[in-house]
Structure 1
Amino acid sequence: MVTSGEAAGEEEGDDAFGALLKQYEGRPAAVAGRGRDPVNQAMIRHWCEAMGDTHPGYRGPDAVAPPTMLQAWTMAGLDGRNSRTGPYVDLLAVLDDAGCTSVVATDCEQEYLRPLRPGDEIGFDAVIESVSARKTTRLGTGYFVTTRMDVRVGTEPAGTHRFRILKYRPAQAATGSEEQSERPLRPRPVVNRDNAGFWEGVRGHRLLVQRCAACAALRFPWLPGCGGCGSPEWTPVEASGAGTVYSYVVMHHPPFPAFEPPYAVALIELAEGVRMISSVVGVPPGEVRVGLPVDVEFRTYDDELTLPVFRARTAAGA
C-alpha cells in the first residue's frame, strides 16, 4: 500500500526529474553537420525506385530530389559519422539511467523551403526542441523527445525536419494472477496538420481522400501537395468504401498488446484507384486472398478511437 506521504514524495521526484530534463530544451543536438555526400542522381534513383515514384521531375539534367528525401542527405552511415553528440547524447544517458532504456520513433514533420538538386552540398544544425512531461503508454512510461533539424545549402535554408522519439521504461507483461482483465487500448494514430481532415471524416464515418484541384488526381494518404503536378491546392472527396485486397499479410508473430493473432493486414485498392492499409474482417485470416472484394466498416474500439476496417463482401449480411 502506498501512503499519501510516499505518493507526495514520488510526485516531488517526478517534478525534479522533469525540471532536469527541461534544462536540455534549446541545447544543440548537432552543430555544423555536413552531408556525407552531395545530393546525387544515384541516391535519387534508388529512392524513387523504392517508393515507386516515376515523376519526370526527378530524372534528367534538370532533376530535383524528392522533397521527402530531406533527412536522407543528413543521415549518419554505419561508421557513425554525423551522429548526434554533446547534450543530446547526455540527455539520452540521463533517461537511460532513469530506466528509460527503450526507444521507439513516433513521428516526424518536414517543411520544404528550397528544392535540392544534384551537386548541392548539405549542411545542418539540430536542436533539442522539447522534452515532454512523463507519459504512460502501452509500451511503458517515458518521455517524448523532439529534435528540430535545420537543413541548408551553403547559407541558404533548404528545409526543416522535426523528429520525435519516445524513450521509455518497458512495461512488464502481466502473467498469471496479474493478468489484466481488460484488453489494452489500441495504439493511437498520429494526427497532424496534414491528415487531420481524414481522421475528422473517420469520426463521422466518412472515408475521405484528396483530389488535386489542379490535375484532379486522387491521392491517399493525405499529403500537403500533389505528387503528380506539385499543386498545394486540393479538395476532400468521399470514397465509396468499396475495394479489393491488393496484397496482404497474416500476422502471427510477434504478439502486440491489444491484438489477437492471427489477423490479416491488407493493402486495399479502393474503387477510386487509391490504396490504403487496414485490417480485413469478416472471414478467417487464412481465407483472405488477393482480389477479395471488401467494403469499408467503421469500428469504434473505445471512447477515443474509431478506425476504418474492411469487411469481406462474401461475408456481408452474414
Structure 2
Amino acid sequence: MVGREYGRVYAWDRVNAPMIRHWCEIMGINNPLYTDAAFARDQGYADVVAPPGMLQVWCMGGLDQESFPEGSSTENNFEVLKVIEPYGYPAVVAVNSDLYFDRQIVAGERLYFTSKLDSVSEEKTTPLGTGFFVTVLMSYFVQAENDGVDEPIGRQLFRVFKFKPAQRPQAQNTEKKAEAKSVKRPLPGVSDDTRFFWEGCEAGKLLIQRCQDCKTLRHPPGPVCSKCHSFAWDTVESTGKGQIYSFVVMHYPEVPPFEYPNPIGLIELDEGVRLIAGLIGVDKDELAIGQRVQVEFQRFDDQQTLPQFRPVTE
C-alpha cells in the first residue's frame, strides 16, 4: 500500500478573514498582516494573509471528521491502520505533524489537498508499546480561477504510531521507588534576565518584569520590551491571583521525581501575563478553564523554590 495516492479533499470555504481573526485571538497572535486588509495590501498582498500554521485548518472536515464538501474523495488516507489492527495492534497515537510552506495563503483563495501513503516502518518497540509508524504526506494546492493551473502552496507530513500497548507494572518495587525518590528536580537555567524571578521565588514573591518606559508587563522575562523595544526594566510583585487559561494532565511517560498524574496549568495572572506552573490540591477530573487559583511557593530538594497554584473559591 505504500505509495498509494488518494484523491482531492476540498475546503468547505475560501480562506477568509473571520476564521483568521478567530485563530489569531485563540493563539494570542497580534500581527496586522493577518487582520488589517489595508496593511496587507501595503505589503503587496490582495487581502489579509492567513497565518502559515492554519494550512491544515482550511481543509478539515469539522466536528464530524467525515464531513467534506461535494466532490471530495471518500477514501481514507489512513486505511492501512485498519489493515494492521486485526493483527493485535489496537491503539493509535499521533507522533508528529510537520508543515512546509511554499508561499503565503491569502484570503479569497480556495484550497484542497491530495494524499499519499508515504511509509510504514518495520515493527518498532517503544515505551508505549510495539507497533508501526505510519506516515502520510498531504500536498496542498490553491484552486486556479478561470481554468488556470492549480498552484502548490504547502505540504504536511503526518505520522502516527499504530501499536500494541506495553504491559505496565501495577506497582514499582521498593528498589525502584527508592531510586526515583533520589532523583532531584532539574534546576532552571538562570541568566541576568531571569535571576530576579528565581530570587523572588526564594523570598516568597512572584515578581513580574515591567518595562520602565511604557510600563508593559512581560513574562517570560527578556532583555527588551516587545512593545517599545526599550532595554530599561524593573519588576512589580504580583498578587499571585489568577485563573487557569489552559491546562494539561501528564500521565505518561512517568519521569522521576515527578508524581503522576501531573497537572500543569497555563495561569493567567490578574495582572495580565501568563506563566506555566504546577497545579496542587486539584482533582484532575474537576479542572476547568477559568478556575480561580492562588500561588503557593514550595521548596524542592532543598535546592529550589517553585511557584505552584492551588484552586480557590471566589
TM beyond 0.5? yes
Residue identity opposite 1:32 in structure 2: R
Distance 1:293-1:112 versus aligned 2 partners, 3 A rule: farther
Q: 1:160 aligns with which of 149, 152, 155?
A: 155
Equivalent residue number for residue 104 of structure 1: 93
Q: Secondary structure at the match of 1:88?
A: coil
CA contact (8 A) 1:65 1:117 kept: yes
Residue identity opposite 1:80 in structure 2: S
**Could you list the runs of 5+ residues in structure 2 that have no partner in the other structure?**
38-46, 144-149, 181-185, 194-217, 221-225, 228-237, 283-291, 309-314
Percentage identity across paired residues of the two chains: 34
Q: Distance in 2 between matches of 1:276 and 1:219?
A: 7
Equivalent residue number for residue 78 of structure 2: 88
Residue identity opposite 2:30 in structure 1: T
Q: Which has the higher helix share?
A: 1
Equivalent residue number for residue 12 of structure 1: none
> How far 1:67 moved relative to its partner?
0.9
CA contact (8 A) 1:126 1:149 kept: yes
CA contact (8 A) 1:246 1:291 kept: yes
**Could you list the runs of 5+ residues in structure 1 that have no partner in the other structure?**
1-23, 187-202, 210-217, 221-227, 230-242, 299-308, 314-318
CA deviations on 1:189-224 (whole Å, 9 max, x unpaired) are xxxxxxxxxxxxxx9964799xxxxxxxx998xxxx
Distance 1:48-1:84 versus aligned 2 partners, 3 A rule: farther
Q: Secondary structure at the match of 1:266?
A: strand
Matched, 1:40 2:16: yes
- Number of residue pairs the alignment of both structures matches: 228
CA contact (8 A) 1:245 1:268 kept: no
Q: Distance in 2 between matches of 1:253 and 1:137?
A: 21
Normalised TM-score (structure 2): 0.56
> How far 1:80 moved relative to its partner?
3.4
1:305-316 matched pairs, under 5 angstroms: 311-312=306-307
Q: 2:111 aligns with which of 100, 108, 122?
A: 122
Distance 1:157-1:249 versus aligned 2 partners, 3 A rule: closer
Q: Distance in 2 between matches of 1:256 and 1:171?
A: 12
1:169-208 matched pairs, under 5 angstroms: 169-175=164-170, 179-181=171-173, 182=176, 206=189
1:235-314 matched pairs, under 5 angstroms: 256=252, 258=254, 260-261=259-260, 263-267=262-266, 277=276, 279=278, 285=281, 292=295, 311-312=306-307
1:43-54 matched pairs, under 5 angstroms: 43-54=19-30
